[in-house]
Amino acid sequence: MSKLVVCGGNQLEGEIEVQGAKNAVLPILAATILNGGKNIIYNCPDLKDVTTTVEVLKKLGCHVRRHEKTLTVDSSQLNSDTIEESLMRQMRSSIIFLGAIIARCKRAVVSMPGGCEIGNRPIDLHLKALRELGVEIRENHGYIYCDAHEMTAANIHLDFPSVGATENVMLTACLVPGTTVITNAAREPEIEDLQSFLNRMGAKISGAGGDVIRIEGVEKLYGVEHTIIPDRIVAGTYLIAAAMTGGSIVLRNVCPRHMQSSINALRDMGCELYTERNRIAISPAKSLKALSMIRTMPYPGFPTDIQSPFMALCTKASGSSMFVETIFENRFQHVEELVRMGADIRIDGRVAVIRGVPGLSGAKVVAKELRGGAALVIAALAAEGVTEIDGVGFIDRGYEHIEKYLSSCGGNIKRKD
């Protein structure tokens, strides 16, 4: 297993081109099977989850080729409607293939998905929505069996604005005759990117970015080219890393509009940020201020995915900060590791209180999930001494070669096998 070795104390200075969004590329790659043609996807990050998604596509019979950041997917030879259990267990977002396979094959067999253990993430919303479209679903011994030969358009209300459930309905309903309406839909930018991709293929979808999405079913979709949007969580992580080390960096290939909650929080802490259409620059705070309270919420609220990196930053702030995690009940797994580095954090259920400390110290720590692992990297960059981070596989699920990007800006971070 690999580990990251970080020698703290260096200010980050330089420019970073932000990778494509993990949470956009995965459903878009799943959507390539809908048209039975050739699709060219640009700005695809080199991530563990993307590699797993490509393996799923190949097992389904697609031909996939990568050249640098471009993936070409030819789904004309799709010959399977089943995803192996070993692949489903590797990542939670593999469930997004369910809607695409159903739409293309009219049946599907998948096992229950895996992923980071950050709390209860049931797929009942996905299955309930698909049943409303007329899909017959049977669950048996950890497998989901779907028959979709008699689907009809429907009005679907989601009890919670689930990103995955919204995407699965979009993928399925775009080939179902009639008009399907999703209310209380997820509003994330990644939903907008999926709508853009599907509409390029010939779908008729409107409303993404709002809480009502309308899908008019079409008979056929066509192969297209598409560029993945920038990753707002990765961009936020690098801004936080700069603030943590007292450095100044410029991010390229970024969409500030997608990151307002993170930008506002950094400004509240005393950092200076300058935004342009696709660039963000950050200058260090004279003194980092605590955040009185942060409550994670569905977009456009404060993202649960950036909570742990911000918590790492708050260990260096003057005063006490409070985080209320409303999305996942087990998203504080990084706290024990930050405390090992000298942080002062107290947890009561879904509430964490962080009191700033004079400094952190290097230690041997373990990443237990994706975003918590990024928080440990941020803390290590500012800690005194050397930090060794195990569990790097989790970080690799969402951050493309994190050590190379941070090293390019002066961070002393290396990967060791």
d(CA 109, CA 83) in angstroms, rounded, equals: 7
Place of tokens 């970024």: 254
Query: Which residue type sits at 314?
Result: C
Give me the catalytic one of 116, 255, 271, 409. Answer: 116
| Active site (annotated) includes residue 116 | yes
Terminal Cα-to-Cα distance of the chain (whole angstroms): 6
Closest CA to 19 of 37, 46, 38: 46
d(CA 332, CA 308) in angstroms, rounded, equals: 7
d(CA 14, CA 59) in angstroms, rounded, equals: 41
The catalytic site residues sit at 116
